[in-house]
Structure 1
Amino acid sequence: MFLSNLMKKLTNKVFSKILITYSATILLTMFVLLLVLSRYYTEVIIQKEMDASTRTLERVEYYLQRKDEHIKNVMQELYLTRDLIFNDIAFALQSDYDTYLSYRLDMYSENSSFVPNNLNTFFQAYFSQDSDINAVSLKSTSSDTEYVYIYNHYKWNKYMDKKMPEKENLTGHLDDLQLQQVKWEQEKSTFNNIQISRAINDPTTLKKLGDLTVFYDIAGMQDLIRLRKSQFKGTVHIFQRDGNYLYSSDNGNSTVPEPLKNLAFETNFKKVKWNGKNYYINTVADDYMGYLYVGFIPENDIKKATIVHKYMFLSTVLLSCIAIAVTYFAMRSYSRRINKIETAIHEVQGGNLQIRIPDSREKDELTTISESFNDMLDDLNMYIKDVYVLNIRQREAEMKALQSQIQPHFLYNTLEAIRMKSIADGSKPTSNMIYSLGQLFRYSLSSKEIVQISDEIQHVKEYIGLNQIRYPNRLNVTYEIPETCLDGKILKFTLQPLVENYLIHGFQKETNHNELLIKVQRIHQDIEIVIEDNGNGIPLDKLLAIQTKLVEGATTSEGSIGLSNVHQRIQLKYGQEYGIQINSIEGEGTRVDVRIPAARREQIQHV
């Protein structure tokens, strides 16, 4: 019951939920990582052992190939010594032992040299230097005659004791060639010797005369394997291509392990199960000599890394506990701070607006929330204190707004009364100026944000008309506005500031050749308005400054506030691809291009 209540209490807290989730994630991740690393480590160890096995087998293969290469060289020398192959060896293999001895004595008596050239000298010259050779056999194909030259009598006798327990057929041990008339070669198993044979053919007829067999002691190969034992685990076995079992490093055990029977003659690696245990078999096939070298390794010998696996497991558990403990203590601190924030919120809900969350030295999101919460309460208290004052000020502002609406109407009505008085008094120019000024005020009082192009053009005409009355015959204005563009929509007060900018800075009062062009045209889905004059123009450095500030969206110089205002209003309304562009040549004139979208309902709002 206690554990149940504790778990329920923990799961009701957000940080406890996070801790449980985080802990479960850490444990799962660490143990998955342990499993992956364990398998990977095992595979690495197995691969390392297989590589060591392969290197050992290749060393054994190289060892026997060197022996075979030596015999090959001996055979070449044998055939190159024509007197020996034709006169001595060929005669020995085709005759019985007594006949051959008589022949040797005759040849020796006829030879002028004191050094005989026969089987004894040849075997002594080419085989006596290799301490691994136990004996060399020269056996006839046409008869049972066999000549055996023994180099290591002790090892050879032990070998013969195993092969022929009854020795009555053995002619005895001589210092030179020994004749054996027994068929011991039929016994193929040679666990104390590795034999390598080569056929001897008649150099003239190529007819096979016999076989030269060299019996190598396995001690040298065992020493080689023993030196590799620190790196290689398991046993080495050698088979002939036909499956005959030649050698085992397992203390001379001549019994073929069941998994090694009927192995394919190929270089391969496989895993087998035998007597409830796993074994790895690594094979190297020597096509030249016809030997199959086999490494036989029990899996239990490879997996000596069990203690490493235990250390990995303990390390994983320890690191997981440390990670969970660090997380717990870190999150407990955050949990306490969250509880303070939660308590303060409940106090505010209860009506206590004087509560504050204590400041923390931590600079994180919870500190930001606490500070924002305290600032909110300060602002709330300030708002409660000032609400009545704000209400009074709001009413005063509303009254002033009503007054500001009344004053322009009063001014417009007063201008209209003055205009009527001017007409009555016969001052028509004054009347026209008052009328134009009154139309400008009327346009200004309109609450629309978007107007028709025709209205904006009319407003510009009224403004230009005032200046034409002021400077008669000094300004000539040309309007190129198609009828199809008059119904287009445009922001209010777009063109008048641009014309005003010209009249203030570009208009030449001393000449009557001032020309102003106002042109409206539609280009695809946009409307372009051109205001071009032949006035004073703008100096290059000032023009570059104005163009740069228009691109950057900054307010231009004091003399070009109208340009900046119009440009920013257009871009805010329609987007960055619209606005104004200005180009000017000092002393020749200025051109301002205004680009706005054609009336698109999704972009233009009527106010």
Structure 2
Amino acid sequence: MKISYTFRHKLSIIYIISCIIPFLLTLIVSAFFFYQTYRSDISELNTALLSSTASHVETYLKDLNALTLAPYSYTELMNYMEEMKKGDSSGSTYHQYQLQQKYQRSISQIIYTNRDDILSIIYIPFTSENTLSDSAIIISKNTTKIQSIESAVIQNKEWQDAVIAQGGSSYFHYTNDYTFTSPLLADSFFFSTSRLIRDAITDKPIGILRLDVYDNALVNMLKNIKLGENNALLLIDKNNQILYQTKDIGELTHSLLPDMPPKITDGETYSVQYYPINGADWTLAVLSNQNGIHRFFSTIGIFLLVVTVLFLALSIGIYSSNSRSLVQTINRILDVLQHAEQGDLSQRVNALGDDQLSIIGNALDRMVGRLQVHIQNEYISVIKCQEMEYIALQSQINPHFLYNVLNSILVMNSLGDTNMVKESILHLNKLLRYSCTRGEKTTVLQECDFLVQYLELQCIRYSDRLQYNIDVAPDAGKCIIPKFLLQPLVENSIVHGMEPYDIQIFINIRAAIKDGQLFITVEDNGVGFHPDESSSPKNVGLDSVQSRLHLFEADSSFLLESSPETGTSITIITRVREV
């Protein structure tokens, strides 16, 4: 049904707008919010991690930086360094020896008493011409004697120039530019912090002090930082050299400095956060693998998608089941209303449950039931009323008719016409016998036989003024019709079409079956009348016939054609009912 489809369609739209769309929007917005919050939290966590790590590294470097200031705290160190700048130009050999011993003791004290991770201390003096000397001395942890440094250290001018450029500030660098044999260097790496030493009075440079330190403490400090599986922590110098990394990222390190891009891509996409190390030209960088985050959220997304599909399937199943029951109840209510509109009160909703629609359906059932009882009672009352009207009509017609017939018989008897008297009595006998038989229905043939008796009696009275013809088809004669259905029509033709006027009349009665319908026609050539006068008191018989016909068969037709001076034709069309 179109109306039920439209109603269910509207229910589906309401369900989609009120449930599905808000759910999907909430899911999408929540997923996006969670994704952004997660990235923001990761960024904040990395920032806090970098800040904390940089603080530890800076504290560690400050401790090392303080050691490079030892010449300003140890007079014997400064004296020896100043003596080395003078060279052999002044001082006795013994005096130089004493200064060397004091220098050696002070440096050894620094190496062994301050920190465990100091590998060696190198000093390269300036010449009297304020250029770096081609010779230098080193005291390392494997010996307490001053040794000559390897030529590679002297020849590596890059770090020396960098230290001089600092102008007295510390300079941290990974150099590893000497290879002298020492068990202390086995499987170990070191970095250096260097400082330009200046004369405390003249502020002129007198040499470079370099402190080589094992990087174990620095590495352990960075190694203990907990990062995600797909993330990396890097310590990078200003030349884009990796000093330390928790994960190998290949050539991507060349993309970090000096521009410090927030994102780098090479097969894998990383978001990068930087934090400079104060006091050193180093930078800490945390690389967060965005592909890993995307894979993580893709997994969550697939899981949420599966859950959403299951939820939607369950939700649609529940909605479909409930909406189908709802629409079925509404369809049954509409069906009952449509049948009631067509006059069929036998249909019922029979709704189950105690919801509002069920209450409405059951109330409709009770209303239709009461209406059906009321209509049946009214129907019975109408039938009884029609029967009483018909009986009253018959009681009005029959005495007058009988009076006329009996009066005619008396006249014929007084004239000695015994044959006509006998014939009239036979006709009257058949007529009364038919009238006294029980039942409200008869056949067309029996009704027409009754009309023959009635018309023969009328012909005795009116003689040549009345003529008739009755033609009943054999199959039509077996059909059932209401009793006394045709007699009022014939009586109307005589009483109103002929009797008041001095004319002759011919009444033609035909009965036949056409297209499955019974056609009965009663026509005369009397004076006729206007159809709008058919409800006048003199033609009350027509209304009675019409009412009884519709009570007998609701789909029957009563066709009246009449006009003044041309006669009247009445056709009854009803469904064929056979005995």
Q: What TM-score, normalized to structure 2?
A: 0.50
Q: What TM-score, normalized to structure 1?
A: 0.48
